[in-house]
Homo-oligomer: A and B are copies of this chain.
């Protein structure tokens, strides 16, 4: 997201989720809030990569954070994320039986 873009457009929101690292972060934070290091161990993803992704997610308030000592604990905005994931799960049950793989 290098260009200056209006936050009002839906696709900005989706861009922030359209990436494996970010959806992995979301899945992990669904279980419990975690620091960057904890996420790094849990997901086996390098620290700065996580920080970059977390900055994006935070910009759109899809995650929040609070400083505890040296650590910064990230938490999921469950109010927004969980219902969306639920809709996608239902969509997939209905529509994605035949489509296991995408070219």
Contacts and interface: CB of A to CB of B under 8 A. Distances in A.
B85 A5 contact: no
Of the four ranges (under 10, 10 to 19, 20 to 34, 35 or more), the interface on chain A belongs to: 35 or more
At the interface, is chain A mostly helix, strand, loop or mixed?
Answer: helix
Interface stretch (A34-42, A44-52, A67-75, A90-98): A90-98
Contact of A92 (B7, B15, B22, B100): B7
A37 B11 CA distance: 23
- How many copies of this chain? 2
Contact of A7 (B4, B17, B90, B100): B100
B18 A18 contact: yes
A4 B102 contact: yes
Interface of A: 1-2, 4-15, 17-20, 22-23, 26-27, 59-61, 77, 79-80, 83-85, 87-88, 90-92, 94-96, 99-103
